[in-house]
Structure 1
Amino acid sequence: MNTRERTVSAAPANGQRRGGRRFLLATTAAVGALAAGCAGTGHLSAGPARAPASLSASAAPGMRMPASEQTAGPSASALMVCSPEIRKDVTSILAPLKVPTTTTSWTDHLYTCTYQLPTGRLVLSVKESPDPASATAYFDTLRTHLGRTTALTAAQALGNPGYESADGTVVVLKDGKTLRVDATGMPTASGPHQLSRGDLAYEIASDVLGCWNE
């Protein structure tokens, strides 16, 4: 079970404090869904999957992409953010009155899945870069765009570079793919556990990374 050190509005999960900050444990429902739901999804390095008919691909300005990649759709790992497994996790964590609907887009090698919830929007995206240097540049540029951020520890990001913004966005870089979970469109406290935007974004990012690491 993943643990994370951060301040939350709910009571401490285990009643203990360390360093003056509370520890948030991943919710039991989310962990159960994750454990049961990632089989057969493929590792992060899985090859490109065919893009859904509703999506169109285009190369980023100034970026040279192999011809085969210019027409390819999102990889199987990118599609994971909108998969039934992650949808189930979102539903388990937030327990909405209505099952969330999703909309997707694929442009400039950025796959985006937006969860439309009764209380707001939760946006998951994966940027697929052609090489490590481009991935790092995108990761760093995004951090600058988000403004004030805090680095995630290696444990928090499951061994990958990552950071979070104060308003509820978590970003993690893994194997040339940049995962972004944006909970800024959600209430300040969500779900039965009254998760802050930052905690919600982290919980979902952890679930996606858990599937990618299988």
Structure 2
Amino acid sequence: MKITKIAAVLLAAAAVPLTGCSARANTAPTPSHSQQVTSGGVRPTRSPTRESSTTAPAVVRPGPSDAAKMICTDETRDNITTVLSTAPDPNPASSWRNRTYTCTFRLPAGRIVLTVHESPTVAAAMAYTGGVRSSVHGENTLVGLTPGAFGTADGVVVLRKDNDTMQVDTSGLSPQSRLYARRAAYAYNIAAVVLGCWNGD
């Protein structure tokens, strides 16, 4: 599989002053069945923050973890605003369905969808992420995120950390928008920001 280094993207990410990770996960909107949304690209999933043990017992949650809900906090929205130089709708739509937490940020230029899929074990997460990758055409391995992270030219980035698979999908941005040409770079930068919070950075 081809390795994409995206040096320009990494430089851009380093140059952008982003907000910190103050663990405001509980401020995320409560998922509603009437707000269920789906991504137009690859289904994202997320990675667990500090649960790296492959021997940990499987856990079935009644709702998304605080780590998963970080994709829908005001902090993440502020970071997206910084990355894109434009502000999304202040009230993103969120949902929790089939172990996947979804957050959709609406912009005049289109939409950006973040998802985190919570698997019961690391092995299950690896299988889930592999299934997502096999369903995508034209994906490239990405460096600088987590091992096995991959992305597409139309703006989908998928990575796995521990039990979680995260997807950032910017493919819903309008071709008429100034953001359209750099949607893959924006997806990478947003994924890096969330991953930094999960790593405690």
Cα separation, partners in 2 of 1:100 and 1:5, compared to 1, 3 Å: farther
Structure 2 counterparts to residues 64-79 of structure 1, below 5 A: 69=60, 72-79=62-69
TM-score with structure 1 length normalisation? 0.70
Q: Extract unaligned runs of 5+ from structure 2.
A: 35-56
Quote the RMSD (CA, aligned, Å). Answer: 3.2
Number of residue-to-residue matches in the alignment: 173
The one of 101, 120, 126 aligned to 2:110: 120
Post-superposition offset of 1:27: 4.6
Give the letter for the 1:91 counterpart. T
Deviation for aligned residue 1:52: 2.6
Contact 2:114/2:167 (8 A) holds in 1: yes
Q: Which runs of 5+ in 1 are unaligned?
A: 7-21, 43-49, 57-65
Counterparts of 1:205 and 1:162, CA distance in 2: 10
Percent identity of paired positions between Structure 1 and Structure 2: 38
Q: What residue identity is the alignment partner of 1:69? A: V
- In terms of fraction of residues, the more strand-rich structure is 1
What are the residue-to-residue correspondences of 1:8-157 with 2, within 5 Å?
23-24=8-9, 25-27=11-13, 31-34=16-19, 37-41=20-24, 52=30, 54=32, 69=60, 72-96=62-86, 99-153=89-143, 156-157=144-145
Q: Deviations over 1:128-162 (max 9, x none)?
A: 00011210111011111122211112xx11x4330
Q: State the Cα deviation string for residues 13-45 of structure 1 (Å, max 9, x = none).
A: xxxxxxxxx62323577x4223xx302358xxx
Determine if contact 1:128/1:176 at 8 Å carries over to the other structure.
yes
- Determine which structure has greater relative contact order: mean sequence separation of CA pairs < 8 Å that are 6+ residues apart, divided by chain length: 2
Distance 1:177 1:88, change over 3 A: same
TM-score by length of structure 2 reads 0.74
